[in-house]
Every structure is written in C-alpha cells, then in structure tokens.
Amino acid sequence: MTQLSMFEKQLEKIYEINDFLPKLSVLVDFEAFHSLIDQARRKTATQSTKKALR
C-alpha cells in the first residue's frame, strides 16, 4: 500500500464532500491566474514589510 501525500489526502477529502471546485476546474483554467496571484502576493508581502518597518 502506498502512502498518500498531504495534497492527495486533501484532494480526496474534497471529492468525498462533493465540493464544487473539482467540477468548476473543468470549466475554468485556474493556471491562467497564477501570474496575477503571484503579483498580488508580492504586493501584499511588500506592503506588510513596509508596515513592519514603520
């Protein structure tokens, strides 16, 4: 028996509760949003650093 990774365990739980995200991912290309999310994360991190330095 192989041990599931943490990601695989979470994904399994999502399917068990019949979550809508797996169904939605068939319609939406979430990979297309990675660059926007990365930009937002960098901006937020920069703002947090500036606040901490005040």
Over residues 6-39, the pLDDT tens digits come to 888 888 888 888 888 778 888 888 888 889 888 9
> Which pLDDT value is given to residue 52?
67
Domain count, the chain: 1
**Predicted confidence (pLDDT) at residue 49 exceeds the cutoff of 70:** no
- Compute the chain's Rg from CA coordinates: 17
Q: Which has more confidence, 25 or 45?
A: 25
Domain membership of residue 1 (yes or no) is no
- The residue range of the domain holding 48 is 6-53
Check pLDDT > 60 for residue 1.
no
pLDDT attached to residue 21: 78
Domain presence at residue 49: yes
Do the domain assignments include residue 47?
yes
The answer to whether 51 and 44 have CB atoms below 8 angstroms apart is no
- The two structure tokens encoding residue 5: 């990774």
14's CB contacts (< 8 A; 6+ apart) are: 21, 22
State the pTM of this model. Answer: 0.39
| Cβ atoms 11, 21 nearer than 8 A | no
DSSP 3: P
Please indicate, yes or no, if residue 36 is contained in any of the structural domains. Answer: yes
